[in-house]
Amino acid sequence: MIVVFKKGTNSDNIEYVRKKLEEYGFKVNISMSGEATIMGALGNESALRDTPLLSLPGVEKVIPILKPYKLVSKDFKNEETVLDIKGVKIGGGNVAVMAGPCSVEGRDMLFAIAERASKAGAKILRGGAFKPRTSPYVFQGLGEEGLKYLREAADEYGMLVITELMDPRDMDLICKYTDIVQIGARNMQNFRLLRELGTIRMPVMLKRGLSATLKEFLMAAEYVAAGGNDEIILCERGIRTFETETRNTLDLSAIPVLKSLTHLPVVADPSHGTGRRDCILPMSQASIAAGADGIMVEVHNCPEEAMSDGDQSILPDDFDILMDRIDIIAKTIGRTLNR
């Protein structure tokens, strides 16, 4: 449920209500909505049978949240969440671009790609140090060595780092080098991992599972938020359908639907969403037009020799064109590309 306080309610009264709810076993989150203070409370509402909340000091109204996802819903917070990560804003009209190779294959290649991506305007460097692969016999990533390269390259060119976490045992190692923790599609419903992510103070980008409904997607995000971490980015990265011409089907309709259901930023990954180099530019443009708060694109200076996902990686020259195109689209619809 949501407890809305009267305008001008002092902090002592708000704190009193918070403590009262916690005495009844509720988990409480406090935020601002316009000029009003609101309190989200998760727990057994029947426990309050003898304590009418409207009788508590400063309480104006109590609103039940009917959706199963509470903290990430627009019922809890109507205005868009804007993440400000070391000066790079995502959400609220700010469009961010994450670019880089699928896998970190070496220092020189990563620095070359980071330099071009940064020059084109990308603010976030992506790259996998631990790679989840279908086959156990192919390249699995460089591990901590790859993480070091990511951090060095990002610092050299003034970028943030986003990289994937697959195992809770690697949490401290990943957080040592990255600015945003990525959770891949295969781990969207790894609930133990999601619970652990709720305990850290670092932004998390959660990718939609291959066959996940939007409700399931938002419930996964709720696990992170319920643990206390509300810095969450949702990523539509394509779902599995009967179509075989593309790797996945990028669900563009998910972007505006998610924006209507949640206050969290929503980005798109046209690289994984299509698996085809020739689709990345048009689907990036379409994603921004549909309202995405950013895109994640795989860029490689020699895709034919890439150790993973070369077919869905674009060349730096094509990335330059992509950035110019989405900048035009963003401005047309009244948004700002972080560049």
pLDDT tens-digit readout, 248-257: 999 999 999 9
- Give me the sign of the Cα torsion angle 194, 213, 251, 328: negative
In this structure, which topology does domain 2-63 adopt according to CATH?
A: Alpha-Beta Plaits (3.30.70)
State mean pLDDT over 284-295: 98
**Ramachandran assignment for 11, one of left (phi > 0), alpha (psi -120 to 50 degrees), beta (any other):** alpha
Name the band, by pLDDT with cuts 50, 70 and 90, for residue 33.
Answer: low
Does domain 83-337 bear CATH number 3.40.50.720?
no
How far apart, in whole angstroms, are the C-alpha atoms of residue 297 and residue 313? 8
In the chain, CATH 3.30.70.1140 covers 2-63
Specify the higher pLDDT residue, 236 or 5. Answer: 236
Name the band, by pLDDT with cuts 50, 70 and 90, for residue 224.
Answer: very high
pLDDT reading at 55 higher than 90: no
pLDDT reading at 77 higher than 90: no
pLDDT reading at 67 higher than 90: no
Name the band, by pLDDT with cuts 50, 70 and 90, for residue 176.
Answer: very high
pLDDT of residue 29: 80
Read off the pLDDT of residues 299-328 as tens digits, 9 standing for 90 and up. Answer: 999 999 888 888 999 999 999 999 999 999
Indicate the pTM of the whole model: 0.88
* Mean pLDDT across the chain: 92
CA distances from 8 to 11, 16, 58, 274 (A): 9, 15, 9, 51
% the chain with pLDDT above 70: 98
How far apart, in whole angstroms, are the C-alpha atoms of residue 151 and residue 100? 13
Which residues touch 282 (CB under 8 Å, ≥6 apart)?
A: none
State mean pLDDT over 62-84: 88
How far apart, in whole angstroms, are the C-alpha atoms of residue 221 and residue 179? 18
Specify the higher pLDDT residue, 210 or 68. Answer: 210
pLDDT of residue 200: 94
In the chain, CATH 3.20.20.70 covers 83-337
pLDDT of residue 154: 98
Q: Token pair of 299, please? A: 């860029």
Specify the higher pLDDT residue, 270 or 28. Answer: 270
pLDDT reading at 180 higher than 70: yes
Specify the higher pLDDT residue, 264 or 36. Answer: 264
pLDDT reading at 7 higher than 80: yes
How many of the other CB atoms lie within 10 Å of CB of 11? Answer: 9
Q: β-pairing, 36-42 with 27-33?
A: antiparallel
- Of all helices (H) and strands (E), which one includes residue 282? helix 277-289
- Give me the sign of the Cα torsion angle 309, 310, 316, 317: negative
Are 221 and 206 spatial neighbours (Cβ–Cβ below 8 Å)? yes
Q: With 0-12 CB in 10 A as exposed, 13-18 as middle and 19+ as buried, what is 320?
A: middle
How far apart, in whole angstroms, are the C-alpha atoms of residue 283 and residue 185? 19
Name the packing angle between helices 144-156 and 107-120 (round to 10°): 40
Give residue for tokens 């970028």.
Answer: 159
Question: How is the beta sheet containing 59-63 ordered, strand by strand?
Answer: 27-33, 36-42, 2-5, 59-63
How far apart, in whole angstroms, are the C-alpha atoms of residue 20 and residue 47? 12
State mean pLDDT over 64-86: 89
Q: Which of 44-48, 110-114, 235-239, 284-288 has the lowest mean pLDDT?
A: 44-48
pLDDT of residue 133: 64
- Of all helices (H) and strands (E), which one includes residue 306? none
Name the band, by pLDDT with cuts 50, 70 and 90, for residue 30.
Answer: confident
Q: Which of 290, 287, 282 is nearest to 322 (CA)?
A: 282
CA R_g for the chain: 21
Q: Which of 36-50, 138-152, 215-229, 290-304 has the lowest mean pLDDT?
A: 36-50
How far apart, in whole angstroms, are the C-alpha atoms of residue 191 and residue 182? 15
How far is the first Cα of the chain from the last one, in angstroms, to the nearest whole number?
39
